[in-house]
Structure 1
C-alpha cells in the first residue's frame, strides 16, 4: 500500500465488482454504460452465479443448474432496459404457467389467458372465476408503478408517487395492508374455494415463508399475478442465455472478467474502499468504487472485517437470518411425466405434494428444524416449456424442495430425502421412476460449491420475512446499497429488494456508485450517507 492507502503496482479499474452473478453483471453493465472502466472478479471458473445451464443428467438433456423460470426477470424494468435480446436472449412459454396438484388429484391451473385460469378456479367454487378476474384487474391497476417501486433504490420515490396517484390515500393504505397479510388470509379474502388460495400459497412457498406468516401473501400475489400478466417464461436454450447475454454486452463495452479470482479482503484506508486483494496476494485497485455481489455476512465479516465497521452493525449481523437450505434434483426422462391428472401436463411449473393445510404443516416443520417426511415439491417441466432442453418425446425435469437451514448435511440424509421426493412424484405420476434415464442431485453443499453465494443452499440471500426487508435488509439501516465504508456497495440479493433474477440489487448498487462519483453532488451525497449511518450505528 502507498501513503494514500491504494494498492501499489496493482491492476486498476474505475470499479471492481466482486462476483459475476447476474447482479454483479448488471452492475458492471450499467457502470460500463456510464463510461467507467469495469473489472469483475469471479471466484469460480464461470460467470452467472445461480443463472447457469449444463448437461448433467444424460447426453442431450439440458438442465438449468439453479434458477429456471423468470417472471420477475421478464417483467423487470432493470433487465428490460439492457436490451438483452440484442445479445441472443429470447423467451418462450409452456402452454400453462403453473399447476398446483392436490393430493386428491384435482388441480388449479394458471394460464396466460385469464378466462382459462378463471375456468379452472371456477371448478373449485363457481364464483371464483369472477373473483380471479377482479383480483387480476386490481393487479393491472398497480403493476407498473409497483414493479418500478420494487426494483428501485429505497425509498422508492418515483414508484411510490405513481402508486399514490393511481390509488390515492385510501387505496394506498389498502395496498400497504396487502403487503403484510399472510397468504392463507389473502386467499380467504379473495376466493371461496380451494383453487385460488392454493395458487397464492404455493407461490409464496417459493420463498421461505409459511402461508401463515406476515408478508407471505404479497409474494404469492406478485408471482401469481405476474404469471397471469406475462407468464413464467424461460430463455430459449436455457438459463445460461441470460448470463451469456450479460457477459457479451459487458465485453462489447470494454468490461473485463477475471475467473478463479477469489477476493479475500476489501482494502480500505481512512474509511474508504480502495480496492481488493484476492487469494494469493494479488491486489486490484478501484479508482471509484467496489461493488460486492456476495452475501452481506461474507462482505462485512470476512472481506471488510469487524474492526473496520461500526460495532453496532456487527452486532446486528448476528441476527441476520438465512432462508432455508435447498435440495434440487434434475432428471432425464425417456418420456413425458405420466401425471394422473392430464391437466398438469402442459404446465411449466407444477406444485406437488400438499393442499393448503399440508403447506402449513410442511412450513411449520421447517421452522422447527425438522426434515419433512412428506415434502412439498416445486417441479419444472423444462422440455414442456422449451423443447430444446431434451430430445423429442422426452423430458428434462427438475424439482427442488426446502430444508431447514444448515451448513452441513450428511450424504445419507440427502439421499433419503431424494427418495422421499421421488415417492411424491411417483404417487402423482405412477410410472415416473420407470422413465428415469439419468439423475443429478445437488444438495445444499453442492449448491454452495457451485455458487459460493448460496450459503448452506440458501437461494434467497437471506430470509424474505418482513423483519428483513426494505430498510431492514440485510440489517436495520438505509435499505440501500451504500455501506458504512465509503465507495463500497452491496450488490447482491442480500440487499433490497432481495432474491430473484431481476437485477435490482446490482442496478441499485451501480446507481449509488454513480451518484457518489458525481463531481459536484458526490461529496454531498457521501456526507449525507455517512451522517445517516452514524445516526443508525452510533
Structure 2
C-alpha cells in the first residue's frame, strides 16, 4: 500500500546539477520544490571525494568546467563559488614528444602553434577573433530552448546571411576537415580534434569540428576553470541556494514511477512505497530511456515514441583512473606540467584509428587519454609539491567487462603516461580505478559508463534529442519534463537542460497562456508521433 506524502508544487527526480538548477529556478519563481535523489548524496556527476590517499581530493566524474563558467544559466544563479585556473589551459602531447599548448595568453598559444607551421600562429589568432565577434549570442543560443529565437536573431544580425550560412557549414564539418581548412601544421588541428573527442565523435564525423572549435576557443577566451576545493563545491552551492529558498532535499529515495492521471503527471512513487504529490510539475533529471520506459511506461506514450527510443544511442563507455602522485608528474617536456588538462597518446591519425576501434567494438591498442592535473589548477587538492591527477578514456559500450579486461586497459593507459613522463609509475602513491560498471553503480544515470546522456552525433542533437521531436523538455505527458543531459542542449556541466525544463514548467503554468502553450505542444506531438 502506498502512503501519500505532503505535496509540493514541483517534484524533481534526481539531484544532479541539472535537477538542482531546475529546482532553484522554480524556487525563485515562488514554487515549493522537493528533490528526490536515489543515492546517498547530491551532485550526480559533479562530486568530489577522497578516492586515493589521505590529503588527496579527487573529482569523481567531471572536473574542468569551461561550459559551466561560460553558461548564462549558472551565471544568473550567482552561486557562491571561487573559480581557479591552471597556468595553461591544455596541451595536446604528440607521440613524438611535441606539444600543442593552448593558453589564456593569446601570444603563448600563437607561439606554440607557430612551431608546427609558419603562419599557424596568425591563423589561430584569426580564428579566435572570429569566435570573439559572435561568442556572446552564440553561447546564449546554446543554452536556451530550441529554437533559440532571441539569441538566434541577435546572432543572425551579427553574422548576416553570408556569415550565418558559413556558420551552418562549420557546424557540420568533421574536425579533421575543419583543421585542414584553417591550419597548415598538425598542432592547431590536433588541439581542436582532441577537444572534439571530449565527446564520442571521431575526427571524421559530421559535427565533430564545432565541438572542437567551441572547447578550444572557450579555453583561449576564458580557460577551463575548476571550483576551488573540488567539483562538489558547485553542487554544494546549488543545494545551499535551493534550501535557502525553502526547497527540500531527500536522499536514498529512488523513484519507481511517475504518477499520471488523465494524461497529466501528478506526482511520483518512490521505492519505499510513498507517493509524493506534484501540484504543478514533475521534472526528471534522469536519462531519457529511464524516464519514458521505466518511470512512465508505454501505456502513456505514443507507440511511435516508444519505437523511436529503440534507436536512442548512448555515448561510449568510460574507464577512469585517479592517482595520488607523490611529486609533480615528471613530464619529458616540463611545459606540459603547467597545463590543467593534457591530451596524450595519439596524433591526428591516431585519433581516427582510436575512434575507429570503438566504432568496430574493439578495444583500442593505443588509447587516447584525457588527463587532469588538478593540483596544478587548484593547490587545495593535495599537499604542496604533489599532484592529484586523473585520466580517462573510452571503451566500446558492452553489457559487461571482466576485471581482467579492465586491468589490461588500465595497464595500457599507465604505459602511455609513462612514455611521456618517465618515472611516473614510481611516483604514484595510490590509485583508484573506475570501470564502466563502477560509474553506473556510483551514479545510475551514467548507464554503462556513458557520461554524456546520449551520443553527441548530429542525428541526436537539437530537435532530434533524445529522439525526433520538439527539441524541448516537454513530453507527451502533460506537466512532465525531461531535465537531464539526454535533452537539448546535451551533455556538459552548464545547466542548460535543467533551465529549459524549469522554463517550460513555468510557461505551462501561466493561466490562459499556459493552456495555449500546452495545446501547441500537444498538437505538435500528435503530428510527430501519429
- So what's the TM-score if we normalise by structure 1? 0.98
Q: How does 1:14-413 map to 2 (within 5 A)?
A: 14-85=9-80, 89-413=81-405
Aligned length: 530
Residue 342 (structure 1) shift: 1.3
Map 1:450-469 → 2, pairs under 5 A? 450-469=442-461
Query: Of residues 516, 520, 527 in structure 2, which corresponds to 1:524?
Result: 516
SS in structure 1 at match of 2:200 = coil
* Aligned partners of 2:4 and 2:274 also within 8 Å: no
Kindly provide the CA deviation profile for residues 269-328 of structure 1, in whole angstroms up to 9, marking residues without a partner as x: 111101000112110000000000000000000000011100000000000000000001
Cα deviations by residue, 1:248-271 (Å, 9 ceiling, x for unpaired): 000000000100010010010111
Q: Which residue of 2 aligns with 1:13?
A: 8
Whole-Å separation in 1 of the counterparts to 2:66 and 2:425 = 30
Counterpart secondary structure, 1:84: coil
* Residues in 1 aligned to 2:254 and 2:40: alpha-carbon distance in whole angstroms: 10
SS at match of 1:81: helix
Q: What's the CA shift string for 1:78-115, capped at 9, x where partnerless? A: 00000003xxx110000000000000000000000111
Report the CA distance between 1:8 and its aligned residue: 7.3
Is the contact between residue 407 and residue 445 of structure 1 (CA under 8 Å) also seen in structure 2?
A: no
Which residue is 2:525 aligned to? 533
Q: Is 1:182–1:215's contact at 8 Å kept on the other side of the alignment?
A: yes
1:501 CA displacement: 0.1
What is the CA–CA distance in structure 1 between the aligned matches of 2:191 and 2:225, rounded to whole Å? 17
For residues 425-504 of structure 1, the aligned pairs below 5 Å read 425-504=417-496
- The two structures, once aligned, show a CA RMSD in angstroms of 0.9
Secondary structure of 1:502's match?
A: coil
Give a deviation string over 1:337-373, Cα, whole Å, max 9, x none. 1111112110000001000000000000000011111
**By how many angstroms is 1:498 displaced?**
0.2
Q: Distance in 2 between matches of 1:169 and 1:220?
A: 24
1:195-221 CA distances to partner (integer Å, 9 max, x unpaired)?
100111000000000000000000000
How far apart in 2 are the matches of 1:35 and 1:346? 46
CA contact (8 A) 2:3 2:273 kept: no
- TM-score, normalization: structure 2? 0.99
SS in 1 for 2:511: coil
For residues 428-447 of structure 1, what are the alpha-carbon distances to aligned partners after superposition, in whole Å with 9 as ceiling and x for unaligned? 10100000111010111111
Give the Cα–Cα distance (whole angstroms) in 1 for the partners of residues 469 and 398 of structure 2.
27
Q: Which residue of 2 aligns with 1:4?
A: none
Q: Equivalent of 1:505, from 497, 506, 510? A: 497
